[in-house]
Structure 1
C-alpha cells in the first residue's frame, strides 16, 4: 500500500522539501481523520493511535525510500546517457565502424563501451571496427584486459578490430602485464587505422595527389 501511495504522490522532479511536506501533510490528514472518527470514544482512540503511529512511520519511511530510489534511478539513466554521448560509435562506411574514446577509461566505462560497441556491430553488420584511444591518457591492468576481451568479443561477432592512438604509457602497460599483443592489430593514428580498415574491406585507398598523377 505504501509503495503504491508513494508512486501516486511523488511525481518525477519533485524536490526533497516537497516530499517531506507531502509526508507530514499525509500524517496530519490521517491523524485528524482518526480524531474525528473516534473522538467520542477516548479508549478506542488511544488504541487506534497506538496502532497508527508505527504504521504511519512505516508509510513515511517507504515514501522516503521510494523517493531516494527514484532519484538514484534517474541519476543512473542520466549518467548512462552521458557516457553514450561521450563514446559514440560512428559508421563511416558500410561494414566499417569507428569508436573514438576520449577521457578516463575506468572499468565501468570500459564495460559500457564494450556493450555499446557489440550492439553497434550487430545492428550495422560491421566487419571492421577502428577503436581510437588517442584521447585516453592512461589505463590500468583491469581496463587493459577488458580491451583485449573487447577485441575477442568483436571477433566472435565477425568483426576485426584495429586499435589506433596507443600512447607510450598505454603500450608499456600492455607489455608489462603480459597481454597477448598478437591479438591486437595496432596502427599508429586514426587516419592510418581507417586506411587499414578500408584495405581489409577491399576498398581501394588512394591518397590525395596520387589519382591526379
Structure 2
C-alpha cells in the first residue's frame, strides 16, 4: 500500500509521518497539495503543522483546497484517511468527521506528553490495543479543544465513534487529565466510516524507538488494518 501524506504550505509533520510509516514497513510518500491525490494512493494522511499559518482558524483554508475533494471521494470509497493535529482540524473543517477543534481552554499552546485511553478497540486504528488501554502520546497544539453540540456529541457516544479520551496514567478520565478542555476529554473521533479518523495527539512522534516511546505505532498500523479489511 502507499499512503499519501499531504503537504500544505505550513505543514511541518509530513516528513515525520513518512519516516514513522516507513519504519513500520508502510510505503508512504509526501504529496504536495497542488499536485492532486495520486490515483494509486491506498491511504491518506493529513499531517500536523500550521497550514497557511492557521489564519482565520486552524485548518479552514487547507480544507478548501481542491485536493480535499479528492480525499472526500477516496474516503467515501473506503480508502483509510487519518488526520493528526492540524490534519484533525482540516478533517473536521472538511466534514470528514463531526465536531470542531478550537482554541485551548488555557488560551495557550500546549506541548507535552499526555495519556489517552482507547475507547473503541474495534476499529482499524485501535485494533492493536484493548479497550481501556492507556497510551502515552505527545501533543502540540493551540487549537486542540474538541467541541460539538449536544446532538452531535450524543450521537458520537451512542455510535461508539469516540476513539480516544484524555486520561491520567491509571486510565481515569478527569478534568485534570484534560490538557485543552475538550468536551468529554475527547482526543480522537471517527467519521461516518471507521476507516476515517482524526486525533489531536501525534502517533508519528511515538513510533520510533529512539524518540522515547512507541505507543503510537498501533494507531499508524491502522492503514494496514483498514486495507486488509477492505480486501478481505
Q: Specify the structure having the higher radius of gyration (Cα).
A: 1
TM-score computed with the length of structure 2 as normaliser: 0.30
Higher strand share: 2
Relative contact order higher in (CA < 8 Å, ≥ 6 apart): 2
